[in-house]
Amino acid sequence: MNEARQATSTSLTGRVVIVTGAGKGIGRAVSLQLASRGALVLINNRRHMGEDDEQTSAAQVVAMIRAQGGQALANHDDALDPDAGARMVAQAMNEWGRLDMVYANAAVAQQAVFHTLSLNELRTIIDSGVVSTLSLLHAAWPVFRAQRYGRALVSTSSAGRFGNHGLTAYAASKGAIESLMRSLALEGVKHGIHCNALSPYAHSQMTASHLPPAWADVLAPEALAPAAAWLLSPECAINGQVLVAGGGRYARSWPVETPSVAGTDMEQVWAQLLDLQGQTHVDSITAFQSFMADGGH
């Protein structure tokens, strides 16, 4: 992907976008990128205890955008609130009369292994990603369907695809979000709605303690912001895809399943499966049909 080409071809002038988790890191970088291309941005980040409006991270990003000649509004809803998405959509529609794009980016980090966390702590981590994403997409969906156009982007993670030690709940939330994205892509396409996922590698509050200094410099959030802007743009025709991005490099990620084999000796069956190449499917129905067809059914 050529960032210079993106910068000249992807104009978002007059289009309205909501970005959650937009006060810092990736959310802030993407919001600034979108605003620089002419988008009107609703900046969501929850208010912390004791903060005045102007002290919030959301207000600070709004100020940065306005200082550069852009348009933005702050929203301080807590993404854990199931009604937050509806309030964000209402705010954007009341102020600008339209909604074209949403980027569900809010999440909470996990800093401990599974057995040390309470069930409530695990649920909070999962809900911070899944509920916040559901809330925003569910509120935006009727608007997108009515106008027969919309671009939805969600934040996923390699942890959600491959797992990671100490990230059980976080990985579970990202795996759920990725599956949600694929299903919404299938439901939305006939209504002109595209839904994709960005899987970032970036230096942020969440990753700062894990990245060597040399990598932190390379993986600035600003390096992947043009990719997010492209995924949200009218020019982007892809749907139901995961784009991995970081430091100006990109990868594509997708689920695969091997052809099926028959047998009664499970060790032998598993050995055969390890030798087979995976293949992708457009949805779960075609995966099932392929599984049955391998057996001649």
Question: Which tokens belong to 92?
Answer: 């954007």
Where are the extended beta strands (E) located within 68-225?
Answer: 71-75, 101-104, 150-155, 193-200
**Tokens 């990109």, residue?**
250
Give the C-alpha separation, 270 to 294, whole Å. 16
Give the C-alpha separation, 85 to 19, whole Å. 11
Of the candidates 103, 149, 170, 201, the residue annotated as catalytic is 170
**Tokens 């700062």, residue?**
208
Give the C-alpha separation, 30 to 49, whole Å. 25
Give the Cβ contact number of residue 210 at 10 Å: 9
Where are the extended beta strands (E) located within 76-219?
Answer: 101-104, 150-155, 193-200
103 is catalytic: no
Edge-to-edge strands of the sheet including 150-155?
71-75, 40-44, 16-19, 101-104, 150-155, 193-200, 242-246, 249-253
**Would you name the residues annotated as active-site residues?**
170
